[in-house]
Chains A and B, each alone.
Chain A
Amino acid sequence: MTLPINAQNVSIVSIEKINKLSGENVKLCMQCGTCTASCPMADEMDFYPRKVMHMSQFGLLSEMEDINTYWKCASCHSCSVRCPRGIDIAKVMEALRQLVLRTSKNYIEPSEMPAEQIRELPQIAMVAGFRKLTS
């Protein structure tokens, strides 16, 4: 995807939203890709974390609406502890999740989970999963 940096493509408002929610500054990212290399979920992601960081630097929220990257993130903090620019990338992913969840959308539907799975799962899996994936 080629994207010229201009007023039409860059959404200052969206960048500010991501920065405010995450408490981080996505512009610090220098696109080295250490986050992608560290990510245990990268193989399952539509876009790698590096690319999502790049898109965040442009504030491309609508282009990131349907990708699974931040939903696949398990907040394991492997990227955050390795980022040479000191960005807590897990917090950026959380901000992207929250921007969707705060519009009352669920990523998973607890009511559709099989009863057998609910019986088997440890309690922390459900508390953590519902907090991360439902509004």
Chain B
Amino acid sequence: MKISYYPGCTLKLKAKNLELAALASLQALGIDVEEMDRWNCCGAVYSLTDDDLIHHIGPVRNLVRAKERGADKLVTLCSMCYNTLARANQLMRKDATKRDTINRFMDDEIDYAGEVDVIHFLTLLDEQVGWDAIKKKVKKPLTGLKVAPYYGCTLQRPQAVGIEPMGSFSLMTKLLETIGATVVPFYSADKCCGSYQVLNVEAGENEAAANVINAAASAGIEALATSCPLCEYNLGKQQDQFMAKGKITASVPTFYFTQLLAMALGVDPEACHFELNDKKAVQLLEAKKFQVAA
């Protein structure tokens, strides 16, 4: 089976810590995943208007590339890329009329009908590696770290592309348990962080994100694990401003789940790039006596 890896724009720029920690983890686990030699923007959001097919061209072209290279699966890390690519894939599988129009429009490409499976990195860990195999490779368990999975919107909604059923956060929960962390139940794990609305509000005024942080703090959660660079920005990087405006009373640092995995697998801390997280994230790890620098 061939698995292609689609990184997406943010992982090469603002969210290098999500990608580099994931790649280091895969190396530690002995899994070989090849980055696509050519990829383009997924569009970040799936087009929701019925007459708008042009915005499906971006994600579908990536799927065509994966098919061309003989990939069976396309794995993504960024939740928004996952959602957009998976929904475009579903459209190409289910809507024959739109599929034909899109294929005819891209007459420079081979025809595509949803042959490639779009999967998220968490599914890859679950299906291709397995939690027992990961557990055997854990060198520095995250004992004593009270963490909760934060899925946000795009990993689970709409249900047809969700990595697991609504209201269930078992994949990331299993991962966090496997690496030795204490997983705290979190009932706001699929509440929206405000997403791109951050462009539409003043700094520190994103109520949706502040609500999630407050809910996490009151549940006794010390850190949130996410797979979305926009969630990480809205939740993790705005906390000083929320605090200044009195929207939150306690901070709850955010990490990419790949950083926590890499750390537990004993990867060189430099490869986790904690310097790209908010400083409170590093302070928490130091307070817990975890190694954050080589």
Which positions in A face B, CB cutoff 8 Å?
A: 20-23, 40-41, 43-44, 71-72, 74-78, 80-81, 88, 90-91, 94-95, 98, 107-108, 113, 117, 120-133
Q: Is the CB of A78 within 8 A of B78?
A: no
User: Given A74, A113, A117, A130, which contacts B197 in the complex, CB threshold below 8 Å?
Assistant: A74
Sorted nearest first, the 4 A-B pairs with minimum C-beta distance are A23-B50, A76-B192, A94-B48, A129-B196
- In the complex, the chain B residue whose C-beta lies closest to that of A119 is B14
| 19 CB-based A-B contacts, threshold 8 Å | A22-B50, A23-B49, A41-B194, A71-B200, A74-B192, A74-B194, A75-B48, A77-B157, A90-B48, A108-B199, A121-B199, A122-B10, A122-B15, A123-B9, A124-B10, A125-B195, A125-B230, A128-B45, A133-B199
User: Given A72, A76, A94, A130, which contacts B157 in the complex, CB threshold below 8 Å?
Assistant: A76
Q: Is the CB of B48 within 8 A of A76?
A: no
Chain A residues with CB under 8 A of B49? 21-23, 91, 94-95, 98
Asked whether B53 is an interface residue with its Cβ less than 8 Å from the other chain, the reply is no
Query: Looking at chain B's contact residues, is the secondary structure mostly helix, strand, loop, or mixed?
Result: loop
Q: CB within 8 Å of A: which of B148-173?
A: 153, 157-159, 166
With known contacts A40-B191, A77-B157, A94-B49, A120–B208 Cβ distance under 8 A: no
- In the complex, the chain A residue whose C-beta lies closest to that of B190 is A78
Asked whether B203 is an interface residue with its Cβ less than 8 Å from the other chain, the reply is yes
Q: Is the CB of A20 within 8 A of B199?
A: no
Q: Mark interface residues in B1-38 (1 if CB within 8 Å of A CB, else 0).
A: 00000001110011100000000000000000000000
Chain A residues with CB under 8 A of B166? 81
Question: Cα distance A125–B229 when bound, in Å?
Answer: 9
Question: Cα distance A129–B197 when bound, in Å?
Answer: 7
With known contacts A81-B158, A125-B233, A132–B51 Cβ distance under 8 A: no
Chain A residues with CB under 8 A of B43? 127, 131
Total A-B contacts with CB atoms under 8 angstroms apart:
133
Chain B contact residues (Cβ within 8 angstroms of A): what range? 35 or more
**Closest beta carbon of chain A to B187's beta carbon, Å:** 13
Chain A residues with CB under 8 A of B15? 122
Asked whether B211 is an interface residue with its Cβ less than 8 Å from the other chain, the reply is yes
Q: Mark interface residues in B46-83 (1 if CB within 8 Å of A CB, else 0).
A: 00111110010000000000000000000000101100
Q: Is the CB of A129 within 8 A of B9?
A: no
**Closest beta carbon of chain B to A58's beta carbon, Å:** 21
Chain A residues with CB under 8 A of B198? 121, 125, 129
With known contacts A123-B13, A125-B230, A131–B44 Cβ distance under 8 A: yes
Asked whether B41 is an interface residue with its Cβ less than 8 Å from the other chain, the reply is yes
Q: Is the CB of A78 within 8 A of B9?
A: no
Q: Is the CB of B10 within 8 A of A132?
A: no
Q: Mark interface residues in B208-225 (1 if CB within 8 Å of A CB, else 0).
A: 100100000000000000
Question: Cα distance A92–B1 when bound, in Å?
Answer: 40
Question: Cα distance A130–B45 when bound, in Å?
Answer: 10
Asked whether B237 is an interface residue with its Cβ less than 8 Å from the other chain, the reply is yes
**Closest beta carbon of chain B to A81's beta carbon, Å:** 5
Question: Cα distance A72–B70 when bound, in Å?
Answer: 41
Q: Is the CB of A125 within 8 A of B207?
A: no
Q: Is the CB of A43 within 8 A of B207?
A: yes
Question: Cα distance A120–B233 when bound, in Å?
Answer: 9
Q: Is the CB of B203 within 8 A of A117?
A: yes
With known contacts A74-B197, A81-B158, A22–B153 Cβ distance under 8 A: no
Q: Is the CB of A128 within 8 A of B157?
A: no
Question: Cα distance A72–B232 when bound, in Å?
Answer: 20
Question: Cα distance A108–B211 when bound, in Å?
Answer: 24
User: Given B81, B203, B208, which contacts A74 in the complex, CB threshold below 8 Å?
Assistant: B208
